[in-house]
Amino acid sequence: MSEPVISVRGVRKSFEDGRIVALRGMDLEVAEGEFVALVGPSGCGKSTLLHLIAALDRPDEGAIRVAGRALEEANDLSAHRAHEVGLIFQLHNLMPALTASENVQVPMFELGLPGRERRERAHALLAAVGLEGRERNRPPQLSGGERQRVAVARALANEPPILLADEPTGSLDSEAGATVLDLIERLRRERGLTVVLVTHDTGVAARADRIVTMLDGHVVGSSPNDRSAAAPTTRLAASTRVTP
């Protein structure tokens, strides 16, 4: 097998001078183009893990490699954030005063693209997420599902090979959530993206290649998701039951 695009080895991360341990002995490998659903009870460390992979924070111990690069050795983490990973959060985190187009352009400033190219790329990205014609709308003028689609476009602004999504459908009704998930799946197929997606929804997890289950800051289960198998929900219930 070629080198995994994401490799997390023996990672430990604590907060508040070690009183809160978010990750303890966390290991994860994700292959290029793979779609991994990350599940587990609230507080088990899922968001912390995504933040470390995105280099928004550093581990206390352990090693993280992304796209062949060891993050602890990288001296330009902002380049990593700009080029390698796109992040989507549960709440879209768009800037309310900026238009949809301007929100999508924010990550492009790191690349120093000229304004015209930024606008053209934002236009194409918004079209790809089904929001052509909404470029000038600001977040308060968009529905929850539309805002989350802008967030997907923003995450892909710099064409990163990896998409990290933290409960991207968690704040949406089921129809809007399904639209956002369809979109992520389509973009993944078209662009060969590697996707790590945190979810509480077994129906969402069932669409991944693999379901990784976390508990208390580490992995307790990893099962390939054979979507051709019958009754996936039954299998899911057995393999990924999440304690309430």
When the beta carbons of 157 and 208 are compared against ligand ADP, the nearer one is 208
Helices 144-155 and 115-128 pack at an angle, to 10 degrees, of 130
Q: How many CA atoms lie within 13 A of 13 on its CB side?
A: 27
Q: Least distance to ligand ADP from the beta carbon of 141, Å? A: 30
Greatest C-alpha distance within the chain = 52
If binding is defined by CB under 6 A, does position 47 make contact with ligand ADP? yes
When the beta carbons of 30 and 108 are compared against ligand ADP, the nearer one is 30
Using CB under 6 A, which of 39, 46, 153, 168 touches ligand ADP?
46
d(CA 102, CA 122): 8
If binding is defined by CB under 6 A, does position 45 make contact with ligand ADP? yes
- How many residues in the shown chain lie near ligand ADP by CB under 6 A? 12
Q: How many CA atoms lie within 13 A of 183 on its CB side?
A: 28
Choices 43-51, 60-68, 182-190, 233-241 (CB under 5 A): range interacting with Mg ion: 43-51
Choices 46-54, 100-108, 121-129, 146-154 (CB under 6 A): range interacting with ligand ADP: 46-54
d(CA 3, CA 8): 12
Q: How many CA atoms lie within 13 A of 209 on its CB side?
A: 14
Q: Which does 68 bind (CB under 5 to 8 A by kind): ligand ADP, Mg ion, none?
A: none
List the x/- string, 5-24, binding to ligand ADP by CB under 6 A: ----------xx---x-x--
If binding is defined by CB under 5 A, does position 47 make contact with Mg ion? yes
d(CA 21, CA 12): 8
Q: Least distance to ligand ADP from the beta carbon of 196, Å? A: 13
If binding is defined by CB under 6 A, does position 48 make contact with ligand ADP? yes
If binding is defined by CB under 6 A, does position 103 make contact with ligand ADP? no
List the 218-224 sheet strands across, edge first.
Answer: 85-88, 162-166, 194-198, 35-39, 210-215, 218-224
Choices 37-45, 65-73, 117-125, 187-195 (CB under 6 A): range interacting with ligand ADP: 37-45
Q: Is 132 helix (H, G, I), strand (E, B) or coil?
A: coil
Number of helices (H), then strands (E), in the chain: 8, 10
Q: Least distance to ligand ADP from the beta carbon of 48, Å? A: 3
When the beta carbons of 89 and 99 are compared against ligand ADP, the nearer one is 89
**What is the binding site for Mg ion (CB under 5 A)?**
47
